Structure 1
Amino acid sequence: MIRYRPRLHSAYKPQRTRQDSHAVCKKLPPKIKTFEISFSQCQGVFHAGGAVQGHVKIEFTEAIRVRVITVRIVGRSKVFFGPRRGREYRYQMREEYFDETMVLTEAELESFMHKPGVSYYEFMYPLAMSLASSFEGEHGYVRYMAQATLEMPDEPDLHIKKGFTVLSVLDLNEEKNVKDVALAEVSKTLCCLCCATGPITATIKIPRRGWVPGEYIPVMADVDNCSKRKILNTKIVLTQHVRYSGKVDLSDHGQTNLHSRVVAFKERGEIPPGENELWKSEMMRIPPVPPSRLVGCDIIHINYDLSLVVQPEGPAYKISVPIDITIGTEPLKRDSESSDQLSPITSSDDRKHENEERKKTITLHAKPPVPQADVIAEPPVIVVFEPQQGHDPIPESPPSYEECIFGRVEIDEGDAIEPGHGPLNYTPMYTYYNWKTMLRAASKRSFRASKTSLRISKENLADVDTAHVHGSKTSLAENGATGGK
C-alpha cells in the first residue's frame, strides 16, 4: 500500500533533496552503534546499463561474533487494482528484473569475531540496459531497493533497506514527430431546450511535441465565446495518464485500469458572452516527472498531454482540447535554424462574419443586414510569440536530479523486500534541466576558455617576438662578419 503526500503543482520550484529517513537502522543492539547503507551517488540515482555502487557501514562498540554480512539488490514492478480482499487485489501482475544477494564477508567461515570500530563493506551490481525507469503510482510501481543484513549467532538478524532510482534513456532526437508544431481546435455549441446560441471555440498551439523536465513550453491559446453564457474559467493543464495491466490468474485475458493526475496547470478567470481570451506565449514549466512510455516495463504505460480546458457556466460539460506530448530524458539538439517561435494564431474572416451574423440573429432588436459590398473586413487577430529565457542553445552540461513532483511515498511492510523495522520512506528522482544554472556554468566555462586562449596567444606572440629579435641579431652579426671580410 502506498500513501501519497500531495503537493500543489501550479508553480513548481526545485526542492532540495531530503536524506532518506530509513537509510539507517533505527533499532540497534547496545553493541552496535551504526548500521547503514550509502550509495556512491549522493542522490541514489543510477542509469540503466551502468552499475549500482555503494557500501555498508558498521560500527561496533566492542568485539562481537558475526555469522555473515550480505546485501540484496532487488528490482521489480507490480500492478494492483480492483476489489480488495485483505492485502490482495483482484487484478495483479508482477515483473521481476533482478534479485541478487551478495556476501560481503568470507562465506566459508561459519562465524567470526568482528573487531570493534568502524568497518566499510563495498558492493557493486551491474544494471541491464533494458531496465525501466523508477516509478511510483496509484496502482503500481517500478521499484529498486537494496537491503543489508547482519546475521549474528547470539542476536536477532538486523535488516536495513534503502531505495534507489534507476533511469532509462528516452532520447527525443530518436523519436518521431516530436519536432512538429502541434495545433488542436474544438468548437462546441451549447443549447438549452429551444434556445439558439453560438459556439465556443477553443484553440491551442505549441511549437513542438518533445520536451524534457525543466523546459518551458510556450503555449498559445484562443478561446472565443460566441455563446449566451459566460465562461467561468480556462486552464492550461499538463496531465499524466497511466495505464495499468493486471490479471486475476494466468487463464484471464486481463484488465486495464487508467489513472490520471495533474502535473502542472495555469488558470485564468471569466470570459463574458461575446468576448474572447488570448493566451499569448504562456510559459508552462515541466517539473521532474518520469519519462513517457516507461520503456522496459510491459505492465505500466505512461503518456502525457497538454490540454486547454474551458468550463462554461450552467449545465454543460467542460471543453477539453488536448495535445499529446512526449517527455524524455535527453533534450532535442538545437541548431542555428531551430527555434521555438510560433507562427501566429489567425482567426479567418469567414468565421468572424459567421459569428457576427449569429449574434445579429439572436439579438431581439436586430439591425437590418448591411449589404455585402459595404462590409469592411477587419484585420485578422495576430499573436506574436515573444522569445523568453530558456530558449537558447542547450549548453553542454549534465542535468541535475530532482525529487518527483508527486513527492515522497511510504512503502508498507508488504511491499518492501521483506519485513523489518517499519515502513520505508522513498522519493524517486528524475532528470531536471535547470537552464539558468546550466547557462551560467556554460558562460563561466566559455569565459575561462577565452582567458586560457588569450594567455596562450600572448605566450605564442611573445615567443614569436623573441625568435624574431634573436633572428635579427644573428643576421646582423653575419652581415657584419661578411662586411669585415
Structure 2
Amino acid sequence: MGKRKEFQIKLSSNKTVYSPGESVTGDLIVNQESPGETKGIKIKFHGEAEVDWVEKEQRQNDEGEFEMVDVHYRRKEVLFKKSFYVFGKKGEKETLHEGEHAYPFSFQLPAKLPTSYEDHIAHIRYEIRATIKKPHKKDPKTRKVFTVIETLDLNTYSDAMKPAVGTETKYLCCLCCKSGPIKVEFQSDRSAYVPGEFVTINATLKNKSNSKVKATSVTLLQRLTYNATEKSQIRWVTICSMEGKECPKKKTISWTNEKLQIPPVPPTSRGSCEGLDIKYFLLFQGHLRLCAVDLREDEEITIGTVPRKELYQNMAGQQSSQEESGLDVSLPSAVVDENGQSVPVPTTVPPELMYKEIEGGAINFAAVDDHGKKLGATSYAPQYAYYDWSQSTVAYE
C-alpha cells in the first residue's frame, strides 16, 4: 500500500464529551502520498467496563501442600460494539488513491451507559477504532478515546436540598477509668451537589473528656466498590479535605459556615455498571491521641451533573421591574427555605458548565482488538462536568 501522511479520527467540533443516547459524529481522515491497494477501511465503536485485580491467597497445590499464589479476580462487560466499512467492502481489493480522503461516520450511543472511569483496578472506556485492511501486510490502526457522562439531574432528586445531618459520641478509656464523652453534631447545607459547588459545613464538638482533641477535619471521600464475578472489594479515596482547630479538654468548638469546594469527579453511580459502584461521603473527624481511635462521623451525599435550578434561576425580569420603580435591587446573600435552612439566593447569571480532568488522573493503557492484537499505548483521562460560579452572583466566595 502507498505511503500515508495522515491517518486519524476527528470528532465533529473537536467534541470529546458525550451523553448516553447522543450521536458521535466525525470524519476518518486518510491522506495518501501515493496510491495503494486495500481490502477496505473499517471503523468500530466500542464500549466496555472491566474490573481486574490480583490477590495473594493460600491455596492447596496438586501435592496437597498449601502455598501462597496469585488469584485473579475479573469481570468484563461489553457495553456496545458496532463496526462497518467506510471505504470498500470486506475482503474485496480496492485502490486508495493519492490525496486526502475524509470518510464521515455517525454512531448513536445507547440510551443507558455508565460514566467513563479509569484507575489501576477498573475502567469504563469508550473508543473509536479504525483499521486499513492491507493484503498480506500489517494493518495500520488508529483510535480515539472519548468520555461519556451519565446525566444525574439534581432537579429530579427530591432530597437534594435537605441537609446531611449526623451525630456521634465517643468515650475515652484510660486503664479502668472512663472519661466524659466527646460528641460531635455535624450538618452540611444540602445533601446533593455538582462539582464546582461549595459544601457549607456547620459542626459543634463538645469535649467533656480529659484529653485534648488535637485537630478537627472534614474530608470528601469517594467509595469505590469493585465487583468481580466471584468477589468484591471496597476502596476509599480522599477527594479533598480541610482542617479545623483543636479542642482542649472540657471545651467546645464550632465550625461555622466553613466551605469545602468539590473538584471534578464522576457522578454518583446509578446502577448502570455491575462491575463498579461510586458513592460519596462527608467525613468529620476529631483527631485524638496516638493510642486512641479518632472520633468519626460520616454522611452520604450525592454528586450530580446538573445543579438545582433554584440556585441560579433567572430573576432578570423581577430585577428590571424593581429598577424601573426606583427600588433597591440588591439581593440578600441567602434565603431561608421551608425547613428553616439557609440557601443561596437565585442569580441572574447561571454557572458556566465546563469539563475538566481529575488532577493526576491520566492512565496509560494498551488496548487490544478482538483478536488479541495490541492497538498501541494511549494516555487518557476522562473529563467530568464542573461548574464555574465566578461569573455568577450566587454567594459562593
User: Structure 2 length normalisation: TM-score?
Assistant: 0.82
Is 1:316 the counterpart of 2:316 in the alignment? no
Picking from 250, 255, 262, the partner of 2:231 is 255
The one of 383, 386, 397 aligned to 1:429: 383
Of residues 206, 212, 217, the one that matches 1:224 is 206
Residue pairs, 1:20-39, within 5 angstroms: 31-39=3-11
Matched, 1:325 2:301: yes
Answer 1 or 2: which has greater strand percent: 2
Q: Which amino acid aligns with 2:239?
A: V
Which amino acid letter does the alignment assign opposite residue 260 of structure 1? W
Q: 1:281 to 1:416 in 2, by over 3 A?
A: farther
In structure 2, the residue matched to 1:69 is 41
Cα distance in 2, alignment partners of residues 259 and 415 from structure 1? 30
Secondary structure of 2:81's partner?
strand
User: Contact 1:145/1:417 (CA < 8 Å) preserved in 2?
Assistant: no
Higher relative CO (CA 8 A, sep ≥ 6), structure 1 or 2? 1
Amino acid at match of 1:152: K
Partner SS, residue 374 of structure 2: coil
Are the equivalent residues in 2 in contact too, given 1:72–1:148 (CA < 8 A)? Answer: yes
Task: Provide the secondary structure at the position in 2 that maps to 1:146.
Answer: strand
- Kindly report which structure 2 residues correspond to 1:50-129, keeping only aligned pairs within 5 A, or say none: 50-83=22-55, 90-107=72-89, 110-129=92-111
Paired with 1:84 and 1:54, the residues of 2 have a C-alpha distance of 46
Distance 1:167 1:201, change over 3 A: same
8 Å contact from structure 1 (residues 311, 319) kept in 2:
yes
Compared with structure 1, are the counterparts of its residues 41 and 264 closer, same or farther at alpha carbon in structure 2 (3 Å cutoff)? Answer: farther
Cα deviations across residues 286-320 of structure 1 (Å, max 9, x unaligned)? 11111112442123211111111121013111211
Q: 1:416 to 1:68 in 2, by over 3 A?
A: closer
> Match of 1:286, as an amino acid?
I
Distance 1:241 1:44, change over 3 A: same
Change (3 A) 1:211 1:394: farther
CA displacement at 1:118 relative to structure 2? 2.0
Residue in structure 2 matching 1:182, options 150, 164, 177: 164
Using the TM superposition, give the Cα deviation of residue 34 of structure 1 relative to its aligned residue in structure 2, in angstroms.
Answer: 1.6
SS in 2 for 1:169: coil
1:232 Cα deviation (Å)?
A: 2.4
How many angstroms apart in 1 are the aligned matches of 2:309 and 2:371?
A: 41
Q: Is the 8 A contact 1:228 1:274 kept in 2?
A: yes
2:362 to 389, 408, 412: 408
Alignment of structure 1 residues 341-380 onto 2, 5 Å: none
Where does structure 1 lack aligned partners over 5 or more consecutive residues?
Answer: 1-28, 248-253, 344-383, 441-485
Preserved contact between residue 2 and residue 35 of structure 2 (Cα < 8 Å): no
Counterpart check, 1:276 vs 2:252: yes
Alignment CA distance shift 1:230-1:329 (3 Å): same
CA distance in 2, matches of 1:207, 1:78: 36
Which secondary structure state, in structure 2, belongs to the residue aligned with residue 218 of structure 1?
A: strand
CA gap 1:108/1:75 in 2 versus in 1, 3 angstroms:
closer
Alignment partner, residue 286 of structure 1: 262
Structure 1 range deviating more: 116-125 or 29-38: 29-38
The alpha-carbon deviation at position 421 of structure 1 amounts to 5.4
Q: Secondary structure at the match of 2:222?
A: strand
| CA-CA distance at 1:65 after TM superposition | 2.1
Q: Please say which structure displays the higher CA radius of gyration.
A: 1
Provide the residue aligned with 1:240 in structure 2. 222
Structure 2 Cα separation of the partners of residues 341 and 206 of structure 1: 16
Identity of aligned residues (%): 27
Structure 1 contact 170–330 (Cα < 8 Å) conserved:
yes
1:74, 1:417 within 8 Å by CA — same for their partners in 2? no
Count of residue pairs brought into register by the alignment: 361
8 A contact 1:306–1:322 mirrored in 2: yes
1:376-391 to 2 correspondences below 5 Å: none
Change (3 A) 1:237 1:160: same
Distance in 2 (alpha carbons) for counterparts of 1:235 and 1:124: 49
CA RMSD of aligned residues (A): 3.1
Q: CA deviation at 1:161?
A: 2.3
Question: Following the alignment from structure 1 to structure 2, what is the Cα–Cα distance between the partners of residues 246 and 167?
Answer: 23
Q: Residue 307 of structure 1 corresponds to which residue in structure 2?
A: 283
Q: Name the residue aligned to 2:67.
A: none
Equivalent in the alignment of 1:161:
143
- Contact kept, 8 Å, 2:165 with 2:186, in 1: the verdict is yes
Q: 8 Å contact 2:40–2:90 — kept in the other structure?
A: no
Cα distance between partner residues in 2 of 1:93 and 1:338: 52
What is the CA deviation profile of residues 225-260 of structure 1, one whole-angstrom value per residue up to 9, with x for unaligned ones?
22222222221100111112222xxxxxx4221111
1:132 pairs, out of 111, 114, 126, with 114
Range that drifts further, 65-74 or 32-41: 32-41
For the 8 Å contact 1:147–1:417, the answer to whether it is kept is no
Output the CA distance in 2 between the equivalents of 1:206 and 1:240.
17
Partner SS for 1:321: strand
Residue identity in the other structure for 1:301? D
Partners of 2:238 and 2:223 in 1: how far apart? 9
CA distance in structure 2 between the aligned counterparts of 1:406 and 1:200, rounded to whole angstroms: 38
Gaps of 5+ in 2: 58-69, 316-330
Shift of 1:396: 4.8
Q: d(CA) in 1 for partners of 2:109 and 2:193? A: 26
Distance (whole Å) between structure 2 residues aligned to residue 295 and residue 152 of structure 1: 42
Show the counterpart of 1:15: none
Residue 18 (structure 2) pairs with residue 46 (structure 1): yes
Which string of whole-angstrom CA distances, capped at 9 and with x for unpartnered residues, describes residues 340-375 of structure 1?
Answer: 7689xxxxxxxxxxxxxxxxxxxxxxxxxxxxxxxx
1:297–1:393 distance in 2 versus 1, CA, 3 Å: farther
Task: Choose between structure 1 and 2: higher helix proportion.
Answer: 1
Match of 2:320 in 1: none
Provide the TM-score with structure 1 as the length reference.
0.68
Q: Cα–Cα, structure 1 residues 68 and 136, in superposed 2: closer, same or farther, change >3 Å?
A: same
Helix, strand or coil at the partner of 1:173: helix
